[in-house]
Amino acid sequence: MPQLPGTDLTVSDLCLGGNVFGWTADEATSFALLDRFVDAVPSRLSPFVDTAEMYGNGVSEQILGRWMAERGLRDRMVVATKASPGEKEHPLSAPEIRAAAERSLRNLQVDTIDLYYAHYDDETTPLEETLTAFDELVRAGKVRYVGASNYSAKRLTEALETSQRLGVARYVALQPHYNLMEREAYEGELRDVVATYGLGAVPYFGLAKGFLTGKYRAGEQIDSPRAKGASHYVGDKGDRVLAALAEVAGAHGVTGAAVALRWLADQPTVTAPIASGRSVEQLADLLPMQDLVLTDDELRRLTDASA
């Protein structure tokens, strides 16, 4: 039962990525994806959905907001969104954070954002200003908890120490780029910081831009907006990882994508990986990760294949 450390947020094993809402999934499809996702999450857990103000320039948030309002499910959900840079000169300045939060609250049709991230670091703004602005949102009841995305180990440490010194709300979560094909950047100093300070990691690109679904292979042309990014992983390492995924998936009667997400969810410090699908069928391939139990030998096999 995943719980974001330092919070009362008990969330689903999978965090549904809202980046597709209004992009590769129109509103009707997005509603169907959300319906399917919520149906698959045990009632003891809160379905965890991630979006950002920059996804479709607010369209993703708006679709999620309309769905929650129509279904009357706001109280069951854990909703995460982000203050994104866009064209802002100082995206994490106090005025920009306040304005971004108000836009997201309107788009989502909610009074409170459960988890509000700094989407990218902003070294043009003092950490004291950024963290004080986030704290003001928490104190005002507009945000429950705050997190960071795409921060380096050094800057994350500085931010956490600054919060402690100022006595303001601190980051409880980190969104890193982390999956079976992208391990080096997280498994080291950054993971150590997350562990030392008791944060929860919520990795994005959990399926390596779709590569870990197994449909992107050398010589094959796939009609997908992610095809170019996924093709980056084609090669010997990719072949090893896909072969290991197929073997483990076959033993459990699930997809390789579900196995890849389960491996990620089982890694130290990870609370829930983020993944999305542009159709209900694609999402259905991922959902078995929630009940999947991998043996130590299977986890080791996947880890070794991706080394």
Average pLDDT of the residues in 157-181 = 98
Helices (H), 220-279: 227-231, 236-252, 256-265
What pLDDT, in 10s, does the model give residues 233-252? 999 999 999 999 999 999 99
What pLDDT, in 10s, does the model give residues 104-129? 999 999 999 999 999 999 999 999 99
Helix or strand run (H / E) with residue 166: helix 153-166
Strands (DSSP E) found in the chain: 11-17, 46-50, 78-83, 113-118, 143-149, 171-175, 200-201, 274-275
> Known catalytic residues?
55
What pLDDT, in 10s, does the model give residues 272-291? 999 999 999 999 999 999 99
Determine what percent of the chain is predicted with pLDDT higher than 70. 95
Please determine, for residue 223, whether its predicted confidence score (pLDDT) is greater than 90.
Answer: no
Q: What is the distance between the alpha carbons of residues 234 and 237, in angstroms, rounded to a whole number?
A: 8
Can you name the residues that pair with 204 across neighbouring β-strands? 177
Predicted pLDDT of residue 216: 73
Q: What is the distance between the alpha carbons of residues 167 and 149, in angstroms, rounded to a whole number?
A: 21
Predicted pLDDT of residue 215: 84
Q: 27-47 burial, b for 16+ CB within 10 Å, e for fewer?
A: eebbbbbbebbbebbeeebbb
222/124: higher pLDDT: 124
Predicted pLDDT of residue 217: 65
Return the CATH superfamily for domain 11-208+268-291: NADP-dependent oxidoreductase domain (3.20.20.100)
Please determine, for residue 301, whether its predicted confidence score (pLDDT) is greater than 80.
Answer: yes
Placement of tokens 């108000």 in the chain:
102
What pLDDT, in 10s, does the model give residues 61-97? 999 999 999 999 999 999 999 999 999 999 999 999 9
Please determine, for residue 137, whether its predicted confidence score (pLDDT) is greater than 70.
Answer: yes
Task: Give 222's pLDDT tier (boundaries 50, 70, 90).
Answer: low
Per-domain boundaries in the chain: 11-208+268-291
Task: Give 261's pLDDT tier (boundaries 50, 70, 90).
Answer: very high
What is the residue-averaged pLDDT of the chain?
96
Cβ atoms of 15 and 202 closer than 8 Å: yes
Strands (DSSP E) found in 96-234: 113-118, 143-149, 171-175, 200-201
